[in-house]
Amino acid sequence: MLSRRRLLLAAGALAAPTIGPTAGADVTFPDVVPRTLRFPEDFGAHPDFRTEWWYLTGWLGEPGQRPGRPLGFQITFFRVRTGVGPDNPSAFAARQLVIAHAALADPARGKLLLDERIARTGFGLVDTRTGETDARLDGWSLTRDPATDTYFGQVAARGFTLKFRAASQGPPWLQGAAGLSRKGPLPTQASYYYSRPQLQVEAELSVAAVAAPAKMQGVAWLDHEWSSSALAPDAAGWDWVGMNLDDGSALLAFQIRRQGARADEAPLQRYAAWRSPAGDTRVIDPTTLHFTPQRQWTSTRSRAAWPIAQRIQVGDRRFQTVPLMPDQELDSRLTTGAVYWEGASTLLEGGRPVGRGYLEMTGYVEPLRL
């Protein structure tokens, strides 16, 4: 349960005018149109757009070895532009909201340790800075050091504290067409999107019952997306994987499911791409991408049936995801309004482990609305 203070914080932040096409006649949200992504500027926030997120997931284990008792972790910062117009003179006006989620997946516990925050920007305490990755909320932070291209994160969550550095292994990987990622049949149903796979992580983790922080190492993945109208009205949600393969390559794949679609019906949109160990990238013919559920887990909380293990065909290669543990459901209806399954998963090929990453699924409780 959220604390009384956080319930009040969430209620106060969400009391802002509705975020929608008719919110605030003097507020307009720009469309996603083809343009060249520019760095370091595009590492930072894009406050004119409706929604934006920096999403970092990874696996951790003891230093010097592949995790024997692995843990999964997630930290995500969301920025949301509301319908409050620029002519509102109040310093307390909720023009921008910042939301943050953090989760730790430990199979020994069997369910996530998780926490979330939400607040309006202002007074130097809550912000997502333009020009560089720098997101801060209630003592949580995710920043990038431009000199070393290394990300630093800090989360003091309910049940655990995590500090980490995540060093990049190459330039930003632009998804879609030079960073413009289609999410629906209309050109405006898109996002600007780049990834940072194979981040090499050093971390300090403290869990509630442990006195001293444990030093850990691992591999992570960061996505940064921003848009104003990414999903089609009849979209249900997505299935997405970001996988760091053991040979140094990386796989990104997703499908946008249609509401009420049959199991054999083609999704609204699908996409897959590879990055080689040398940094070369290749987009796969989307008609050769197929997600097929292999195992379901039903949540006793949301009653959703999540396909937590999936077979994924990408071109002529066939993979299977295996969850670190079944219960990796996050109920964030008090902040983002969604329930999603964010699961640390092993990637198999031919029955053999070949990588690690995350499988994310949305829209299994009700259609996702960004």
pLDDT tens, 177-207? Answer: 999 999 988 888 999 999 999 999 999 999 9
In a domain, 21, yes or no: no
pLDDT single digits (tens) 111-170: 999 999 999 887 677 899 999 999 999 899 999 999 999 999 999 999 999 999 999 999
> What CATH number should be reported for the domain holding residue 204?
2.40.370.10
In a domain, 68, yes or no: yes
Is 132 within 8 Å of 146 (Cβ atoms)? yes
Query: 307 pLDDT exceeds 80?
Result: yes
pLDDT computed for residue 266 by the predictor? 87
Average pLDDT over residues 93-122: 90
In a domain, 242, yes or no: yes
In a domain, 339, yes or no: yes
Number of structural domains the chain divides into = 1
- The residues near 290 (Cβ < 8 Å, ≥ 6 apart) are 311, 312, 313
CA dist., res. 122 & res. 139, Å (int): 14
In a domain, 31, yes or no: no
pLDDT computed for residue 263 by the predictor? 72
pLDDT computed for residue 7 by the predictor? 32
Query: 94 pLDDT exceeds 80?
Result: no
Percent of the residues in the chain that have a pLDDT greater than 90, as a whole number: 68
Query: 12 pLDDT exceeds 50?
Result: no
pLDDT single digits (tens) 257-267: 998 877 778 89
**Residue 5 pLDDT class (50, 70, 90 cuts):** very low
Query: 369 pLDDT exceeds 90?
Result: no
Domain hosting 333: range is: 39-362
129: exposed, middle or buried (Cβ count in 10 Å: 0-12, 13-18, 19+):
middle
Lowest mean pLDDT among 19-23, 130-134, 230-234, 293-297: 19-23
pLDDT computed for residue 345 by the predictor? 97
In a domain, 29, yes or no: no
Average pLDDT over residues 301-314: 95
In a domain, 13, yes or no: no
Query: 20 pLDDT exceeds 50?
Result: no
Lowest mean pLDDT among 93-97, 311-315, 351-355: 93-97
The larger pLDDT score, comparing residue 278 to residue 336, is at 278
- How many CB atoms lie under 10 A from the CB of residue 279? 14
In a domain, 24, yes or no: no
Average pLDDT over residues 337-345: 89
Tell me the three state secondary structure of residue 333. Answer: coil
Average pLDDT over residues 281-294: 96
